Amino acid sequence: MSLADLLAGVIFVALNAYALLGGADYGGGVWDLLAGGPRKEHQRELIAEAIGPVWEANHVWLILALVLLFTCFPPAFARLGIVLHIPLSLVLIGIVLRGSAFTFWRYGGAADEEGRRWGVLFAVASLITPLLLGTAAGAIASGGLGEEARGKGGVGFYAGYVAPWLTPFALSVGVFALVAFAFLAGVYLTLEARDAELQEDFRRRALGSGVGLFGAALLVLVLSLGGAPLVREGLIFAPAGLPLHLLTATTAVTALAALWYRRYHLARLLAAVQVSLILWGWALSQYPYILPPDLTIAAAAAPRATLRLVLGLLVLGAVVLLPSLFYLFRVFKGRDLRRQGPVADVCRRSVSPPTRRSRRPRRSRSRAPTRRTGCCRARPRASPPRSSPAP
């Protein structure tokens, strides 16, 4: 394995972490938009409290992937920025709108109606952004970012900057990413909920989105026959293709079974493994290309001196970043942490109706009669002692 291959693998590890953590945040926004039933406000409160402490930190992985891409593989970054300028710019706008709307919704102190408008903006941005991210990934996998798609040599605007990503295959990958993120969020929220009824709400949502993920994967596979021949050959005809498919299918079925039998910790682990296997299957199917069909990892790599320097800085940064993230999640997502915020209070009120506090009957105290003197009450006079009868 070369140094360029190692750094390309680090980029994909960062993207994998972003999909598992930041993707679940997007999925939480989707369930916020689709909240319904008598407990919809409780569902939204739970989603907001689950996302609140960690949603900004999860973007560290996307930033890391982008910094490594433009430092270690400048030609690939340049081609992505040119050909996918429209969807990636919309992704950036969606991330900013989503973060701003969440902040104003949860911490802005707005009235109920205004706060709900910010909540709707947060949910809509959480729906559109992963759809565009998946569409960009589908455009990469389809091989539409080759030299002829860069807008040179008389190629028009639509053919150079819209057609590479506005295809049925790329859009199906966008839908697949959206359903996968919703599935992750549904599974994670079963562990965030402390109320049995809320837990059942998100269990049903996770089961439904998990089944929908099978349908989305089948759609992507069918459209890859003509939309992404390189990835299709790598997934089907490669020596590791069949074992990878079997392992992914087994993990997916086991995750749904764990949800069905309410083994939520096991379901969370298996859901994360399932999504990771799908991502790494995509990466292995197009190796050694970083941007198929013509830009390999070796051809796009920066000079070796730059790669060595970046690797050293990456090790130093990991010494600071990884313990910090571990401490953050240990504090806010620790297993021993029991949420005592407004969600717990709301859920307790939804489970059992409030009982009236029984009033203790007042004991009547016999008081000696008093007489008024002006505006004050005089103390009762002590009655003289009775004289005993003379013998």
Max distance between CA atoms of the chain, in angstroms, equals 140
| Domain assignment of residue 158, yes or no | yes
User: Cβ distance 138 to 230 under 8 Å?
Assistant: no
Confidence (pLDDT) at 335: 54
pLDDT higher than 60, residue 162: yes
Q: How far is CA 268 from CA 21, 80, 206, in A?
A: 12, 33, 10
Confidence (pLDDT) at 119: 86
Compute φ and ψ for 295, nearest 5 degrees.
-115, 105
Query: How far is the C-alpha of 384 from the C-alpha of 161, rounded, in Å?
Result: 110
Q: Express each pLDDT in 272-304 by its tens digit.
A: 999 999 999 888 888 899 998 889 999 999 999
For the segment 242-249, the average pLDDT, to the nearest whole number, is: 88
pLDDT higher than 80, residue 129: yes
pLDDT higher than 70, residue 109: no
Confidence (pLDDT) at 199: 93
Confidence (pLDDT) at 148: 57
| Domain assignment of residue 382, yes or no | no
| Domain assignment of residue 56, yes or no | yes
Compute φ and ψ for 298, nearest 5 degrees.
-65, -40
Max avg pLDDT among 108-112, 134-138, 359-363: 134-138
Confidence (pLDDT) at 170: 94
pLDDT higher than 50, residue 321: yes
Q: How many domains does the chain have?
A: 1
| Domain assignment of residue 136, yes or no | yes
| Domain assignment of residue 299, yes or no | yes
For the segment 67-91, the average pLDDT, to the nearest whole number, is: 94
Q: Express each pLDDT in 193-232 by its tens digit.
A: 888 999 999 999 999 999 999 999 999 988 988 888 877 7
pLDDT higher than 70, residue 362: no
Higher-pLDDT residue of 281 and 381 is 281
| Domain assignment of residue 353, yes or no | no
Q: 152: pLDDT confidence band, cut at 50, 70 and 90?
A: low
Beta strand 289-291 with 371-373 is: unpaired
The tokens for 333 are 């997502």
pTM above 0.85, yes or no: no
Whole-number average pLDDT of the chain:
83
| Domain assignment of residue 370, yes or no | no
For the segment 140-147, the average pLDDT, to the nearest whole number, is: 84
The boundaries of the domain holding residue 329 are 3-337
pLDDT higher than 70, residue 154: no
Q: 343: pLDDT confidence band, cut at 50, 70 and 90?
A: very low
User: Cβ distance 160 to 149 under 8 Å?
Assistant: yes
Q: 58: pLDDT confidence band, cut at 50, 70 and 90?
A: confident
pLDDT higher than 90, residue 74: yes
Confidence (pLDDT) at 30: 93
Q: Contacts from 241-246 at CB under 8 Å and sequence distance 24+?
A: 241/285, 244/277, 244/281, 244/284, 245/281
| Domain assignment of residue 114, yes or no | yes
pLDDT higher than 50, residue 71: yes
pLDDT higher than 80, residue 234: no
Confidence (pLDDT) at 105: 82
Q: Express each pLDDT in 3-38 by its tens digit.
A: 999 999 999 999 999 999 999 999 999 999 998 888
